Every structure is written in C-alpha cells, then in structure tokens.
Amino acid sequence: MTKFSVVVAGGGSTFTPGIVLMLLVNQDRFPLRALKFYDNDGARQEVIAEACKVILKEKAPDIAFSYTTDPEVAFSGVDFVMAHIRVGKYPMRELDEKIPLRHGVVGQETCGPGGIAYGMRSIGGVLELVDYMEKYSPNAWMLNYSNPAAIVAEATRRLRPNAKILNICDMPIGIESRMAQIVGLQDRKQMRVRYYGLNHWWSAISRSFRKG
C-alpha cells in the first residue's frame, strides 16, 4: 500500500496532537511515511511538536517526523496538507466573542459579527497555504479544517477555483457519536441523519435498519 507524506499547517495548535492520534489510529487505511508540522510561531510549535515526537516514537517510529517554520521545507514533497490555522490566535478570538456580546449579539467564532471578523482574517492565511502547496507540491490535496468553515470555503471557491482543497468540519461525526451513545446505539452508523448549515442544524434523525 502506498504510504503518504502529510504536513499539518498550524502545527502549534493544541488540537494538533489529536490529529496525530487520529492519523495513527488509521494507519491501516492511510499509512504515513512522513509527517511534518508547519507554523509561523516557532516557539509555540516546538512545544507541541516535541510532545508529538514522543507519541510517534512510541507508536510509529518508522514515520519520519519533522517541524519547521520554513514554507518551502514544509510544503515540498507532500501528498496532503491538513490545515487548521487560527489567524490572530486566542487574543483575537476573545475580541470576536466579547465585542458582539457588549452589543447584545451572540458572540461566536463562526457566525455573527465575530464570525465575519474571524473569516476576514482567515481568508488570507488559508490562501497563503494554498499558494505554498501549489508552488511546492502541485499534486497535493489540502484538507482545510480552519474556521469559519463556510466563509473560508466560499473564499477559496471564488479566489482559488482550481485549487485541490476540501473544506471540512469534523463536528458532525462527534455529534453523531454522542447522539448514538445517548440513545444506546453501538455505532453512529446505525443512525441516518440530515443536517444543514454553518452550525450543523440537524433536521432529521432516524434509526437505520440494515438487512443481513
């Protein structure tokens, strides 16, 4: 089976170890030969990367691991880019959420005034990553988790219409799993669900009965 090289853009995020663990759990379906972290905050990334280095050494020592702040090093020779960046970091998130609240509006990072502000900041950062990928690994695909997902997805569709990018959110899987647990099902795939929109408005949930 082909082994892949992946760069995680936003390597300094505290969510990055979760991505690493997810990749390790799925090595039978998505084997890795190399994993790289990229972040423009080297000090923050180093803390996360050194922790992940221990995890990889224990669980998958055959995967080549490195981290860098150099985009050419990070994006060269990769098959996939997993992007989850936060432009402005948490100080700006605090403003995105608290300023609307002072005016009686919901403070949230994916919708409302805060979501729009965060979206305007995020677009440039995500486009920068797309451009790095296309320059250094033109055959690679990007999986973008960066919020606000809908705003970023629409921006990339309009501004980089030919880019190999999938804008996704993993929240529905988590919600499905929790719902399945609440109603006593063993697996979320035992349910059929329908949901829409930026904040995953669920419109239908039913039990799935499969023959055989």
Assign 166 to helix, strand or coil.
strand
169 known ligand binder: yes
Contact 107, 99 (CB under 8 A): yes
Say whether 33 counts as a known binding-site residue: no
Exposure of 124 by Cβ count < 10 A (0-12 exposed, 13-18 middle, 19+ buried)?
A: exposed
* Ligand-binding site membership of 147 (annotated): yes
The residues near 136 (Cβ < 8 Å, ≥ 6 apart) are: 71, 72, 75, 76, 77, 78
* Distance in Å from the first CA to the final CA of the chain: 30
Q: What gap in Å lies between CA 29 and CA 46, rounded to an integer?
A: 29
Annotated binding-site residues read 93, 147, 169, 200
Annotated binding-site residues for substrate read 93, 147
Annotated binding-site residues for Mn(2+) read 169, 200
